[in-house]
Every structure is written in structure tokens, then in C-alpha cells.
Amino acid sequence: MDASSPLRLLRVSAEKGTSSEQLVRTSLAKIRESPSAFVQVFEESALECARSVDKAEIHGPLAGIPIAVKDLLDVARTSKASGSPTVLGERVATEDAVVVRRLREAGAVIIGKTHLSELAFTGLGYNPHYDTPLSPFGRLPGGSSSGSGVAVSLGLVPAAVGTDTGGSVRIPAAWCGVTGFKPTVGRVPTEGCQTLSDTLDSIGPLANSVEDCALLFRVMAGLPEAQFPLEPSDTSQLRFLVPNLSFVDVDGPVLAAFETALTALEAAGTSLVRAEVPELALTLSPTINLMVAEFAATHRDITDCADMDKIVSGRLRLGSQMKAVDYLHATSTLRSLRTAVDRATKGFDGMLMPTVAVVPPTLEHVLSSEAAMAEAAGKTSHFTRIGNGLRRCAVSLPCHLHEGEGSSPVGLMVVGETDGDEACLAVSAAVEAVLRKAGLGVRKP
């Protein structure tokens, strides 16, 4: 059995006599030891569901597996604050979000809701209304799906669900040393999920392997292939575009880990072509303009921002002041850029770049001043936002160096084509195998 797939191992353990109730009780005990990753824990309903699985009353590819979901998603008869309990307030959901319903139908045990940045709109993973969960590296976990990343990284659950509008699955995946998948917009339904940007929102999984992410993606997307194993691509047949990213300052440990990963891929027979793709840098401004405008439209009824995270309130004000002509210009600009980048990447299996340009800061550093917080927040999403603006799917894989050579978590991002989700996952599984063989991204403190 493939040790890289915790979900498969859990199913095998259940087949050998480990009950779902035991799995859930183990997760609950771990959550009690590291509670800050969660804002709600559904102990009673989770145990009830697990017992139903053990009685063979519930079946499916995720039968009995504890899964956490981000507190942007509706879970029937539970409250949702979207990380903003004082401004947005808590509201009780009358029914499950579509993805939550599909996870349940696949047999998953929804064990709780995870911590997030306020209204899902910063990449640090800090939220002034809750305790901040730290990654195993003792640093900020990345956001906005911070609790989902920490929950998987600490082994509280084998997989979790996040959302990604500008990098909110992939940033915490990179900073927590786990795997995260951002599907193409529209592949996973967003009904029952708090909106940030209608144009860019997507829901994706965080887990410990590409195979696990593929399984959750297929379930949430309603694909019949959910039960089939992922077939990795042949590494020696892969051809990647590595764009020049000099328009962003990349931290030394990030660059070192990324280049080491590229060397390992070349040694495995993968073809890498380094090239200029100037359109990538040009996507950054119109993408953030689109995000803040649609964010402001979503939350146009919010009038008092005094208790809101200052970075989030600043983006809300920026969006509310944007003119319609600027919003439409951003939309048309992105359409043109997508066409140009599609031409540049034709014939490649994907683009490779670091997930995040910087190593995660400490909580103490960002709390030292508003300037430190703003500077750190501004450095998190340059590369991830490119994928959102281009409406592409992408996987973040851990690729940090061996312990002793630098323990800062680093992610390598595989950017696929629009609607090329299955191909992107298969390619990423092949890259993941090379990285693990090279010992990259496999150790946590």
C-alpha cells in the first residue's frame, strides 16, 4: 500500500479492524491538543456518523474518514462566521454546502470547521478575532485557509477543504509543508460557500499527497472516477515551462529549494525550458482589482469596519471606491492576457514556479507593527494570484530542503491549463514522486 496516501492507509486500517469511531476519536483527541486550528468541532455528530459507517449504513470512497472544512462553508444546523464574528456575525446554516453534501455522500465524517483569515482575504493566516494556529515550523501558517493547512500538517485530520481566490489553498499548503490543489473555477460548485469574488473563487483540498487531493477533488466535483487511483504521468516524458520571475524578489531559502527541485526533475529526465513570459507580471494588478471590486460588492452592506482586520478593511474600502470603468478594464485585460499565456504555454505540461516568494514570518514579527503586518501580507500571493487571474488550476507541493539545510517550508507550484485539472493532478503526482525520492519537502520539525 502506498504510504504517500494517508486516506488509502486509513481505509486499509478500517478494513483490518480499525473502526471509523476509533479514527474519529483519535482525531478528536489530537484536535483537543491543538485546538486553534479549529473554530468549531462537531464531536457528537462526527461520532454518530462514524458509528453509522461502522454499522455499514454509510458507504463510499471516503467512508469513515474524518475531514475538516473551512469556516466559509455551510454545514447544516451549525453557525458560520466566515472568520468575521463581530462584523459579519454568525449565521446558522439550514443545509449543507454542495461540497459538504457530496463529501458526506462519499462517506466522509465532517469533524469540524477550521480557522481562516477574516472574510478569507489575507494570505498570512492571522485573524485578530481568534488565536492564530502556527504551522509545525513555528511560523504563520498562511491563509486564508490557515486552519485547514495546520490541521493536515499536524495530523489532526488526513485531509481538509479550503478555498482559493488569490492563493488561499496553496499558500497554507506551502507554509505548512503539505499539498494543496486549486481547481479551475467552476469545476467544484461554490453554492453554500461565502463569496469573496464570483469570478475567481474556487474550492479545493489540502492533504498529504496529490493522490489524496485528487480523491477529494473528484468527490467535490461530483466525478464518477472518484474511486479510481490517480495514474501519475511518466516523468521522463514531461516538459515544463519555467518562466522568468524576476519581477518579484524571492527569498534565498525559497530560491535554493526551488532550484534544487528543478535539478532533481532534470535528473529524472524531465525537460525544463526557461523563458520570458512577460504577461505573467501583467496579470497581478488587474487580478487584485477584480478581487477587491467583487469583494466590496459582496459586502456592500458592511458599514462599520472598526473591528475588522485592518488589511481586510483597507481592501474593502479600495474595492468600494473602484470605478466601473476600471473594473471592466481589469476584466478585459485579463481576457487578453489569458489568450497570450495560452499561446506561450502550448505544448508544455505546465508551468513551474515557487508557490510563495517568501518564507513565512513569525507571528511576533507581524504583530510588531502595522507596517510589518502590511509588508508581510503584500508578499504572500504574487505567484499564486497569477494562476487565479489566468483561471488555471494549480497544485502546490512541499519542496523544502532537508532538515539541517534549512527548515523553512517552501512550496513548488505546478500550474496547469484551464479545465486541465485531471492532467495537472497526474503531472503533479509524477513531480511529487521525484521530490520525495530526492528527500525534498518530506520532513517537518
Active-site amino acid positions: 70, 144, 168
Backbone angles phi, psi at 214, to 5 degrees: -65, -40
- Compute the chain's Rg from CA coordinates: 20
How far CA 97 is from CA of 220, 284, 389, 403, in Å, comes to 11, 30, 25, 40
Cβ atoms of 153 and 135 within 8 Å: the answer is yes
Judging by DSSP bridges, how do beta strands 109-114 and 66-70 pair with one another? parallel
The C-alpha atoms of residue 354 and residue 358 are separated, in whole angstroms, by 9
Q: Which three cell numbers stand for residue 61?
A: 470512497
Q: Which residue has the cell 492532467?
A: 423
Q: Which residue has the cell 452592506?
A: 301
H helix or E strand, kind and range, residue 23: helix 20-33
Q: Which three cell numbers stand for residue 297?
A: 460588492
Q: Is the peptide bond before 320 cis (omega within 30 degrees of 0)?
A: no
Q: First CA to last CA across the chain, in angstroms?
A: 26
- Label residue 184 left, alpha or beta by phi (over 0 means left) and psi (-120 to 50 means alpha): beta
Backbone angles phi, psi at 419, to 5 degrees: 65, 10
